[in-house]
With several copies, the nearest count.
Chain A
Protein backbone atom coordinates (compact mmCIF):
# COMPACT_ATOMS: atom_id res chain seq x y z
CA UNK A 1 0.00 0.00 0.00
CA UNK A 2 1.08 3.53 -0.64
CA UNK A 3 2.32 5.23 2.51
CA UNK A 4 -0.13 8.11 3.05
CA UNK A 5 2.44 10.14 4.98
CA UNK A 6 4.53 10.48 1.81
CA UNK A 7 3.35 13.57 0.00
CA UNK A 8 4.44 13.63 -3.65
CA UNK A 9 2.62 15.67 -6.27
CA UNK A 10 -1.11 16.02 -6.82
CA UNK A 11 -2.64 15.19 -10.20
CA UNK A 12 -2.81 18.88 -11.02
CA UNK A 13 0.81 19.39 -10.08
CA UNK A 14 1.81 16.48 -12.30
CA UNK A 15 -0.16 17.96 -15.18
CA UNK A 16 1.46 21.33 -14.61
CA UNK A 17 4.94 19.79 -14.76
CA UNK A 18 4.06 18.27 -18.13
CA UNK A 19 2.71 21.58 -19.45
CA UNK A 20 5.89 23.41 -18.44
CA UNK A 21 7.96 20.93 -20.46
CA UNK A 22 6.08 21.61 -23.70
CA UNK A 23 7.42 24.36 -25.96
CA UNK A 24 5.48 27.34 -27.23
CA UNK A 25 3.85 26.56 -30.55
CA UNK A 26 3.84 22.81 -30.03
CA UNK A 27 1.28 20.51 -31.65
CA UNK A 28 -0.01 18.36 -28.82
CA UNK A 29 -2.21 15.29 -28.54
CA UNK A 30 -3.57 14.60 -25.05
CA UNK A 31 -4.81 11.13 -24.19
CA UNK A 32 -8.08 10.54 -22.37
CA UNK A 33 -8.16 11.00 -18.59
CA UNK A 34 -5.33 12.55 -16.58
CA UNK A 35 -3.50 13.79 -19.73
CA UNK A 36 -6.45 16.09 -20.42
CA UNK A 37 -5.57 18.07 -17.28
CA UNK A 38 -2.43 19.35 -19.01
CA UNK A 39 -4.53 21.81 -21.02
CA UNK A 40 -5.46 23.61 -17.77
CA UNK A 41 -1.84 24.51 -17.00
CA UNK A 42 -0.46 26.04 -20.18
CA UNK A 43 1.82 28.96 -19.25
CA UNK A 44 0.36 32.31 -20.29
CA UNK A 45 3.12 33.10 -22.77
CA UNK A 46 2.71 29.84 -24.68
CA UNK A 47 0.24 28.64 -27.29
CA UNK A 48 -0.29 24.92 -27.87
CA UNK A 49 -2.36 23.58 -30.74
CA UNK A 50 -4.34 20.50 -29.76
CA UNK A 51 -4.86 17.65 -32.16
CA UNK A 52 -7.57 15.09 -31.63
CA UNK A 53 -7.26 12.03 -33.82
CA UNK A 54 -10.93 11.98 -34.74
CA UNK A 55 -10.29 14.86 -37.11
CA UNK A 56 -9.69 18.25 -35.50
CA UNK A 57 -6.60 20.40 -35.19
CA UNK A 58 -7.11 23.44 -32.98
CA UNK A 59 -9.36 21.85 -30.37
CA UNK A 60 -10.64 24.34 -27.82
CA UNK A 61 -12.05 23.83 -24.32
CA UNK A 62 -15.33 22.11 -23.47
CA UNK A 63 -18.40 24.07 -24.61
CA UNK A 64 -20.77 25.79 -22.21
CA UNK A 65 -23.66 23.67 -21.05
CA UNK A 66 -26.37 23.61 -23.66
CA UNK A 67 -23.94 24.40 -26.47
CA UNK A 68 -22.66 20.86 -26.95
CA UNK A 69 -22.66 19.53 -30.51
CA UNK A 70 -22.64 15.72 -30.81
CA UNK A 71 -20.75 16.16 -34.08
CA UNK A 72 -17.94 18.20 -32.48
CA UNK A 73 -16.20 15.83 -30.11
CA UNK A 74 -12.75 14.68 -29.04
CA UNK A 75 -11.15 11.25 -29.11
CA UNK A 76 -12.82 10.49 -25.79
CA UNK A 77 -16.16 11.26 -27.49
CA UNK A 78 -16.71 14.29 -25.23
CA UNK A 79 -18.04 17.60 -26.65
CA UNK A 80 -15.34 20.16 -27.41
CA UNK A 81 -15.00 23.43 -29.30
CA UNK A 82 -12.79 24.60 -32.17
CA UNK A 83 -10.53 27.68 -31.96
CA UNK A 84 -10.30 30.34 -34.67
CA UNK A 85 -7.71 28.82 -36.98
CA UNK A 86 -8.84 25.22 -36.48
CA UNK A 87 -9.31 22.68 -39.25
CA UNK A 88 -11.37 19.52 -39.74
CA UNK A 89 -10.12 16.56 -41.78
CA UNK A 90 -10.76 12.88 -42.33
CA UNK A 91 -9.14 9.99 -40.49
CA UNK A 92 -6.44 9.19 -43.06
CA UNK A 93 -5.27 12.81 -42.98
CA UNK A 94 -5.48 12.84 -39.18
CA UNK A 95 -3.16 9.86 -38.93
CA UNK A 96 -0.87 11.38 -41.54
CA UNK A 97 -0.28 13.99 -38.85
CA UNK A 98 0.38 11.28 -36.27
CA UNK A 99 2.30 8.65 -38.22
CA UNK A 100 4.20 11.24 -40.25
CA UNK A 101 5.83 12.71 -37.14
CA UNK A 102 4.09 16.07 -37.42
CA UNK A 103 2.80 16.11 -33.84
CA UNK A 104 5.36 17.27 -31.31
CA UNK A 105 4.11 15.84 -28.06
CA UNK A 106 1.68 13.16 -26.98
CA UNK A 107 0.76 12.77 -23.33
CA UNK A 108 -0.58 9.34 -22.43
CA UNK A 109 -1.54 7.28 -19.44
CA UNK A 110 0.17 3.95 -18.77
CA UNK A 111 -0.40 0.58 -17.21
CA UNK A 112 3.31 -0.20 -17.35
CA UNK A 113 6.46 1.47 -18.62
CA UNK A 114 9.64 -0.57 -18.97
CA UNK A 115 13.14 0.76 -18.38
CA UNK A 116 13.83 0.67 -22.12
CA UNK A 117 10.79 2.83 -22.88
CA UNK A 118 8.38 0.05 -23.80
CA UNK A 119 4.81 1.10 -23.03
CA UNK A 120 1.77 -1.00 -22.15
CA UNK A 121 -1.43 0.98 -21.89
CA UNK A 122 -4.16 -0.71 -23.90
CA UNK A 123 -4.84 -4.18 -22.55
CA UNK A 124 -4.27 -6.32 -19.50
CA UNK A 125 -4.22 -9.32 -21.81
CA UNK A 126 -6.83 -11.07 -19.65
CA UNK A 127 -8.64 -13.76 -21.60
CA UNK A 128 -12.13 -12.31 -21.18
CA UNK A 129 -11.25 -8.65 -21.61
CA UNK A 130 -12.55 -6.96 -24.76
CA UNK A 131 -9.41 -5.70 -26.45
CA UNK A 132 -9.60 -2.08 -27.63
CA UNK A 133 -6.60 -0.17 -28.92
CA UNK A 134 -7.93 3.00 -30.60
CA UNK A 135 -5.16 5.30 -31.76
CA UNK A 136 -2.65 4.54 -28.99
CA UNK A 137 -0.30 2.41 -31.09
CA UNK A 138 -0.24 5.00 -33.88
CA UNK A 139 0.46 7.81 -31.44
CA UNK A 140 3.42 6.13 -29.77
CA UNK A 141 4.82 5.05 -33.14
CA UNK A 142 4.47 8.45 -34.78
CA UNK A 143 4.58 11.35 -32.35
CA UNK A 144 8.00 12.91 -31.83
CA UNK A 145 7.95 13.02 -28.02
CA UNK A 146 5.96 10.69 -25.79
CA UNK A 147 5.26 11.75 -22.23
CA UNK A 148 3.59 9.35 -19.83
CA UNK A 149 1.62 10.72 -16.90
CA UNK A 150 0.60 8.18 -14.28
CA UNK A 151 0.50 7.36 -10.60
CA UNK A 152 3.84 5.86 -9.67
CA UNK A 153 2.29 2.55 -8.59
CA UNK A 154 -1.13 0.96 -8.91
CA UNK A 155 -3.76 1.41 -6.21
CA UNK A 156 -2.67 -1.97 -4.93
CA UNK A 157 0.93 -0.73 -4.72
CA UNK A 158 2.17 -2.76 -7.67
CA UNK A 159 5.02 -1.41 -9.75
CA UNK A 160 4.04 0.42 -12.95
CA UNK A 161 7.63 1.27 -13.86
CA UNK A 162 9.20 -2.10 -14.48
CA UNK A 163 12.14 -3.93 -15.93
CA UNK A 164 9.99 -5.52 -18.60
CA UNK A 165 6.29 -5.04 -19.29
CA UNK A 166 4.14 -8.06 -18.56
CA UNK A 167 1.06 -6.58 -20.22
CA UNK A 168 0.76 -6.54 -24.03
CA UNK A 169 2.84 -3.70 -25.49
CA UNK A 170 1.49 -0.56 -27.12
CA UNK A 171 4.92 0.16 -28.57
CA UNK A 172 8.61 -0.66 -28.16
CA UNK A 173 11.06 1.92 -26.80
CA UNK A 174 8.67 4.80 -27.27
CA UNK A 175 8.44 6.64 -23.93
CA UNK A 176 10.66 9.69 -23.48
CA UNK A 177 9.69 10.84 -20.00
CA UNK A 178 7.47 9.67 -17.14
CA UNK A 179 5.61 12.06 -14.82
CA UNK A 180 4.35 10.41 -11.65
CA UNK A 181 3.15 11.64 -8.26
CA UNK A 182 6.62 10.82 -6.92
CA UNK A 183 9.06 11.93 -9.61
CA UNK A 184 9.86 12.94 -13.15
CA UNK A 185 11.94 10.26 -14.84
CA UNK A 186 13.73 10.42 -18.18
CA UNK A 187 13.91 7.29 -20.28
CA UNK A 188 17.29 7.18 -21.97
CA UNK A 189 19.31 4.65 -23.97
CA UNK A 190 21.32 3.97 -20.82
CA UNK A 191 18.30 3.52 -18.58
CA UNK A 192 15.96 5.49 -16.32
CA UNK A 193 17.26 8.79 -14.94
CA UNK A 194 15.51 10.73 -12.19
CA UNK A 195 15.06 14.30 -13.36
CA UNK A 196 13.16 15.57 -10.35
CA UNK A 197 11.93 14.16 -7.05
CA UNK A 198 8.51 15.04 -5.68
CA UNK A 199 8.19 16.93 -2.38
CA UNK A 200 9.37 14.75 0.47
CA UNK A 201 10.48 11.93 -1.82
CA UNK A 202 13.97 10.52 -1.47
CA UNK A 203 15.80 8.65 -4.21
CA UNK A 204 15.85 5.55 -2.04
CA UNK A 205 12.12 5.70 -1.42
CA UNK A 206 11.51 6.18 -5.15
CA UNK A 207 13.70 3.19 -5.96
CA UNK A 208 11.68 1.07 -3.52
CA UNK A 209 8.50 1.97 -5.39
CA UNK A 210 10.01 1.26 -8.80
CA UNK A 211 10.40 -2.14 -10.46
CA UNK A 212 13.47 -1.14 -12.46
CA UNK A 213 16.84 0.35 -11.67
CA UNK A 214 16.84 4.13 -11.36
CA UNK A 215 19.86 6.32 -12.07
CA UNK A 216 20.80 9.74 -10.78
CA UNK A 217 21.96 12.42 -13.19
Chain B
Protein backbone atom coordinates (compact mmCIF):
# COMPACT_ATOMS: atom_id res chain seq x y z
CA UNK B 1 0.00 0.00 0.00
CA UNK B 2 1.29 3.41 -0.91
CA UNK B 3 1.62 5.44 2.25
CA UNK B 4 3.57 8.69 2.22
CA UNK B 5 2.57 9.73 5.73
CA UNK B 6 5.40 10.43 8.20
CA UNK B 7 4.82 10.56 11.93
CA UNK B 8 6.66 13.78 12.74
CA UNK B 9 8.30 16.78 11.16
CA UNK B 10 11.64 15.45 12.42
CA UNK B 11 11.17 12.18 10.51
CA UNK B 12 9.89 14.02 7.45
CA UNK B 13 13.11 16.03 7.07
CA UNK B 14 15.45 13.05 7.52
CA UNK B 15 18.07 12.72 4.83
CA UNK B 16 18.36 16.39 3.95
CA UNK B 17 22.06 16.73 3.33
CA UNK B 18 24.67 19.48 3.64
CA UNK B 19 24.86 21.50 0.44
CA UNK B 20 21.31 20.63 -0.64
CA UNK B 21 19.13 23.00 -2.64
CA UNK B 22 15.77 23.41 -0.90
CA UNK B 23 12.67 25.20 -2.08
CA UNK B 24 10.49 26.62 0.69
CA UNK B 25 6.90 27.61 -0.05
CA UNK B 26 5.26 30.77 1.19
CA UNK B 27 4.69 34.40 0.41
CA UNK B 28 5.66 36.05 3.64
CA UNK B 29 4.17 33.85 6.33
CA UNK B 30 1.26 32.67 4.16
CA UNK B 31 2.13 29.11 3.19
CA UNK B 32 5.46 29.04 5.00
CA UNK B 33 6.02 25.54 6.47
CA UNK B 34 7.34 26.75 9.80
CA UNK B 35 7.33 23.38 11.60
CA UNK B 36 9.30 21.74 8.79
CA UNK B 37 11.80 24.60 8.81
CA UNK B 38 12.25 24.29 12.58
CA UNK B 39 12.71 20.53 12.20
CA UNK B 40 15.35 21.26 9.57
CA UNK B 41 17.14 23.58 12.00
CA UNK B 42 17.12 20.78 14.60
CA UNK B 43 18.26 18.28 11.97
CA UNK B 44 21.39 20.33 11.29
CA UNK B 45 21.90 20.33 7.52
CA UNK B 46 24.01 23.31 6.46
CA UNK B 47 25.55 25.05 3.46
CA UNK B 48 22.08 25.11 1.94
CA UNK B 49 20.81 26.98 -1.10
CA UNK B 50 17.28 28.14 -0.37
CA UNK B 51 14.75 29.06 -3.05
CA UNK B 52 11.92 31.08 -1.52
CA UNK B 53 10.12 34.29 -2.39
CA UNK B 54 11.24 36.11 0.77
CA UNK B 55 13.83 35.68 3.51
CA UNK B 56 11.57 35.32 6.53
CA UNK B 57 10.82 37.74 9.33
CA UNK B 58 11.79 38.04 12.97
CA UNK B 59 13.82 35.16 14.37
CA UNK B 60 11.66 32.16 13.56
CA UNK B 61 11.03 30.00 10.49
CA UNK B 62 13.14 30.85 7.44
CA UNK B 63 14.75 33.81 9.22
CA UNK B 64 15.86 31.46 12.02
CA UNK B 65 17.31 29.00 9.50
CA UNK B 66 19.35 31.86 8.04
CA UNK B 67 20.27 33.24 11.46
CA UNK B 68 21.56 29.81 12.47
CA UNK B 69 24.03 30.01 9.56
CA UNK B 70 22.64 27.08 7.62
CA UNK B 71 22.14 29.01 4.40
CA UNK B 72 24.93 29.71 1.93
CA UNK B 73 22.75 31.31 -0.73
CA UNK B 74 19.21 32.67 -1.16
CA UNK B 75 17.40 32.65 -4.49
CA UNK B 76 14.42 34.96 -4.09
CA UNK B 77 12.50 37.93 -5.46
CA UNK B 78 12.04 40.08 -2.38
CA UNK B 79 14.62 39.60 0.38
CA UNK B 80 13.47 42.47 2.57
CA UNK B 81 10.06 42.76 4.13
CA UNK B 82 8.61 44.18 7.31
CA UNK B 83 10.44 42.68 10.31
CA UNK B 84 13.06 41.13 8.08
CA UNK B 85 16.41 41.95 9.67
CA UNK B 86 18.37 38.68 9.71
CA UNK B 87 19.05 38.41 5.99
CA UNK B 88 19.86 42.09 5.42
CA UNK B 89 22.45 42.03 8.21
CA UNK B 90 24.22 38.93 6.94
CA UNK B 91 24.03 40.20 3.36
CA UNK B 92 25.63 43.52 4.25
CA UNK B 93 28.41 41.63 6.01
CA UNK B 94 28.93 39.52 2.89
CA UNK B 95 28.09 36.33 4.78
CA UNK B 96 25.30 35.16 2.53
CA UNK B 97 24.85 35.11 -1.24
CA UNK B 98 21.80 36.44 -3.03
CA UNK B 99 20.46 35.61 -6.47
CA UNK B 100 17.69 38.12 -7.07
CA UNK B 101 15.04 36.89 -9.53
CA UNK B 102 11.85 38.68 -10.64
CA UNK B 103 8.90 36.98 -8.99
CA UNK B 104 7.26 35.74 -12.19
CA UNK B 105 10.58 34.52 -13.57
CA UNK B 106 11.21 32.72 -10.28
CA UNK B 107 7.81 31.03 -10.54
CA UNK B 108 8.34 30.07 -14.18
CA UNK B 109 11.88 28.77 -13.55
CA UNK B 110 10.50 26.54 -10.80
CA UNK B 111 7.55 25.42 -12.92
CA UNK B 112 9.95 24.63 -15.79
CA UNK B 113 12.16 22.64 -13.44
CA UNK B 114 9.18 20.47 -12.63
CA UNK B 115 8.01 20.21 -16.23
CA UNK B 116 11.25 19.04 -17.87
CA UNK B 117 11.78 22.35 -19.67
CA UNK B 118 15.46 23.30 -19.26
CA UNK B 119 15.12 26.90 -20.45
CA UNK B 120 12.64 29.41 -21.80
CA UNK B 121 12.43 33.01 -22.95
CA UNK B 122 10.67 35.79 -21.06
CA UNK B 123 10.19 39.51 -21.69
CA UNK B 124 10.67 40.18 -17.97
CA UNK B 125 13.86 42.05 -16.98
CA UNK B 126 14.99 42.75 -20.55
CA UNK B 127 17.11 45.90 -20.51
CA UNK B 128 17.52 45.88 -16.73
CA UNK B 129 20.45 44.98 -14.49
CA UNK B 130 18.84 41.61 -13.72
CA UNK B 131 19.31 40.58 -17.35
CA UNK B 132 23.01 41.41 -17.38
CA UNK B 133 25.13 38.54 -18.68
CA UNK B 134 22.07 36.65 -19.87
CA UNK B 135 21.34 35.61 -23.43
CA UNK B 136 18.74 37.72 -25.17
CA UNK B 137 16.85 37.05 -28.35
CA UNK B 138 14.22 38.62 -30.55
CA UNK B 139 10.94 36.90 -31.36
CA UNK B 140 8.40 38.73 -33.52
CA UNK B 141 10.02 42.09 -32.93
CA UNK B 142 10.20 41.92 -29.14
CA UNK B 143 13.32 41.22 -27.09
CA UNK B 144 13.38 38.39 -24.55
CA UNK B 145 15.79 37.02 -21.95
CA UNK B 146 16.64 33.33 -21.74
CA UNK B 147 16.12 31.89 -18.27
CA UNK B 148 17.04 28.44 -16.95
CA UNK B 149 14.92 26.02 -14.96
CA UNK B 150 15.54 25.62 -11.23
CA UNK B 151 15.32 22.23 -9.59
CA UNK B 152 15.83 21.33 -5.95
CA UNK B 153 16.83 18.31 -3.93
CA UNK B 154 13.99 18.97 -1.50
CA UNK B 155 10.94 21.18 -1.21
CA UNK B 156 9.32 22.08 2.10
CA UNK B 157 5.70 22.98 1.55
CA UNK B 158 2.65 23.80 3.66
CA UNK B 159 -0.88 22.86 2.64
CA UNK B 160 -4.37 22.46 4.05
CA UNK B 161 -5.28 18.80 3.45
CA UNK B 162 -3.38 15.76 2.22
CA UNK B 163 -3.99 12.03 1.80
CA UNK B 164 -1.66 9.03 1.94
CA UNK B 165 -1.05 9.28 -1.83
CA UNK B 166 0.26 12.82 -1.40
CA UNK B 167 -2.71 14.57 -3.03
CA UNK B 168 -2.92 18.13 -1.71
CA UNK B 169 -5.23 21.09 -1.47
CA UNK B 170 -4.22 24.49 -0.13
CA UNK B 171 -5.78 27.41 1.75
CA UNK B 172 -6.45 30.69 -0.10
CA UNK B 173 -3.35 32.76 -0.91
CA UNK B 174 -1.20 30.33 1.09
CA UNK B 175 -1.19 28.25 -2.11
CA UNK B 176 1.34 30.56 -3.85
CA UNK B 177 4.58 28.66 -4.60
CA UNK B 178 3.56 25.32 -3.03
CA UNK B 179 2.21 23.51 -6.10
CA UNK B 180 5.10 24.37 -8.41
CA UNK B 181 7.73 23.68 -5.74
CA UNK B 182 6.29 20.17 -5.25
CA UNK B 183 6.89 19.48 -8.94
CA UNK B 184 10.46 20.76 -9.03
CA UNK B 185 12.09 18.79 -6.21
CA UNK B 186 13.44 15.27 -6.06
CA UNK B 187 11.73 14.96 -2.68
CA UNK B 188 8.78 17.19 -1.83
CA UNK B 189 8.04 17.20 1.90
CA UNK B 190 4.67 18.60 2.92
CA UNK B 191 3.10 19.63 6.20
CA UNK B 192 -0.70 19.46 6.13
CA UNK B 193 -3.20 20.82 8.62
CA UNK B 194 -5.07 17.55 8.22
CA UNK B 195 -4.59 14.17 6.67
CA UNK B 196 -7.71 12.66 5.18
CA UNK B 197 -8.66 9.34 3.59
CA UNK B 198 -8.06 8.85 -0.16
CA UNK B 199 -11.13 10.05 -2.03
CA UNK B 200 -12.08 12.63 0.59
CA UNK B 201 -10.39 15.20 -1.62
CA UNK B 202 -12.58 15.24 -4.74
CA UNK B 203 -10.40 14.30 -7.77
CA UNK B 204 -11.73 17.44 -9.49
CA UNK B 205 -10.28 19.79 -6.86
CA UNK B 206 -6.88 18.23 -6.16
CA UNK B 207 -4.32 21.01 -6.68
CA UNK B 208 -1.16 18.92 -6.29
CA UNK B 209 -1.57 15.34 -7.56
CA UNK B 210 0.23 12.84 -5.32
CA UNK B 211 2.85 11.99 -7.94
CA UNK B 212 4.68 15.20 -7.03
CA UNK B 213 4.86 14.48 -3.28
CA UNK B 214 7.11 12.02 -1.42
CA UNK B 215 6.42 12.75 2.27
CA UNK B 216 3.46 14.14 4.18
CA UNK B 217 3.21 15.00 7.87
CA UNK B 218 0.19 16.25 9.78
CA UNK B 219 0.74 19.48 11.73
CA UNK B 220 -2.76 20.25 12.90
CA UNK B 221 -2.02 23.48 14.77
CA UNK B 222 0.82 25.21 12.95
CA UNK B 223 2.48 28.17 14.60
CA UNK B 224 1.67 31.63 13.28
CA UNK B 225 4.84 33.38 12.23
CA UNK B 226 3.52 36.91 12.69
CA UNK B 227 2.35 36.04 16.21
CA UNK B 228 5.79 34.66 17.14
CA UNK B 229 7.46 37.75 15.67
CA UNK B 230 5.14 39.97 17.70
CA UNK B 231 6.08 38.01 20.83
CA UNK B 232 9.77 38.39 19.99
CA UNK B 233 10.38 34.63 19.93
CA UNK B 234 13.55 33.09 18.50
CA UNK B 235 14.06 29.54 17.28
CA UNK B 236 15.55 27.34 18.71
CA UNK B 237 13.40 28.31 21.72
A and B touch in the complex (CB under 8 A): yes
Contact pattern, B 24-35, Cβ under 8 Å of A = 1, otherwise 0: 000111110000
Binds B, one of A5-13, A167-175, A193-201: A167-175
Nearest-CB distance from B229 to chain A (Å)?
A: 11
Q: Provide the bound-state CA to CA distance between A128 and B94, in Å.
A: 10
Q: Report if A85-B198 is in contact (Cβ < 8 Å); known contacts: A73-B27, A131-B100, A133-B102.
A: yes
Using A49-B210, A88-B173, A95-B103 as known contacts, say yes or no to A132 and B79 having CB atoms under 8 A apart.
yes
Residues of B within 8 A of A168 (CB): 128-129
Mark contacts of B117-154 with chain A using CB atoms, 8 A cut-off: 1 yes-contact digit, 0 otherwise: 10000111111111000000000000000000000000
Please give the distance in Å from B188's CB to the nearest CB on chain A.
10
Interface of chain B residues 1 through 48 with chain A (CB within 8 A) = 1-2, 27-31
Report the Cα distance A53→B78, complex, angstroms: 13
B87 to chain A: closest residue by CB? A130
Name B203's closest neighbour in chain A (CB-CB).
A86
Contact A135 B104 (CB under 8 A): yes
Range, interface on chain B? 35 or more
Distance to closest chain B CB from A147 (angstroms): 19
| CB atoms of B173 and A71 under 8 A apart | yes
Residue among A27, A89, A118 with the highest chain B CB neighbour number at 10 A: A89
> Are B203 and A88 in contact (CB-based, < 8 A)?
yes
Instruction: Knowing A56-B173, A89-B209, A103-B211, say if A95 contacts B104 (CB, 8 Å).
Output: yes
Residues of B within 8 A of A130 (CB): 79-80, 87-88, 91-92
Looking at the assembled complex, report how far the CB atom of B233 sits from the nearest CB atom of chain A, in whole angstroms: 16
- Return the chain A residue nearest B226 by Cβ: A70
Answer yes or no: A206 CB below 8 A from chain B CBs: no
Cβ–Cβ < 8 Å partners of B207 in chain A: 90
Assess whether A99 is interfacial by the CB under 8 Å rule.
yes
Question: Which of A51, A57, A88 is the most central at the interface, judged by chain B CB atoms within 10 Å of its CB?
Answer: A88
A145 at interface, CB cutoff 8 A: no
Cβ contact within 8 Å between A47 and B105: no
Find chain A residues with CB under 8 A from B102 CB: 133-138
Alpha-carbon distance between A149 and B56 when the two chains are bound, in angstroms: 30
Contact B165 A90 (CB under 8 A): no
Residue contact A133 to B103, C-beta cutoff 8 Å: yes
Cβ–Cβ contact B165 & A138, under 8 A: no
Contacts of B111 in A (CB 8 A): 92, 96
In this complex, the member of A49, A130, A142, A172 whose beta carbon has the largest number of chain B beta carbons within 10 angstroms is A130
B211: chain A residues within 8 A (beta carbon): 27, 49, 51, 57, 97, 102-103
- Residues of A36-86 whose CB lies within 8 A of B: 47, 49, 51-58, 69-73, 77, 82-86
Size of the A side of the interface (Cβ < 8 Å), in residues, is 61
**A99 and B117 contacting across the interface, CB-CB below 8 Å:** yes
Question: Chain B residues with Cβ under 8 A from A188's Cβ?
Answer: none
Q: Mark B156-178 against chain A: 1 for CB-CB distance below 8 A, else 0.
A: 00000001110100111111111
For A77, A89, A102, A133, which residue has the most chain B Cβ atoms within 10 angstroms? Answer: A133
Which residues of chain A are near B199, meaning CB under 8 Å? 83-85
Given contacts A91-B107, A135-B104, contact A73 B30 (CB under 8 A): yes
B31: A residues at CB distance < 8 A: 71
Q: Which residues of B contact A49 (CB under 8 A)?
A: 2, 165, 210-211
Q: Is A157 an interface residue (CB 8 A)?
A: no
Residues on the B chain within 8 Å of A118, using CB = 127
Chain B residue, CB-CB nearest to A74: B173
Q: Is the CB of B183 within 8 A of A102?
A: yes
- The interface residues of chain A lying within 8 Å CB-to-CB of B212 are 97, 102
Residue of B nearest to A24 (CB): B2
Q: Are A99 and B123 in contact (CB under 8 A)?
A: yes
The answer for the CA separation of A135 and B130 in the assembled complex, in Å, is 13
How far is B2's CA from A25's CA once the two chains are assembled, in angstroms? 6
Counting chain B CB atoms within 10 Å of each CB, the highest count among A27, A57, A103 belongs to A57
State the Cβ distance, A176 to closest chain B Cβ, in Å.
Answer: 16
Q: Give residues in A with beta carbon < 8 Å to B.
A: 24-25, 27, 47, 49, 51-58, 69-73, 77, 82-103, 118, 123, 125, 128, 130-138, 141-142, 168-172
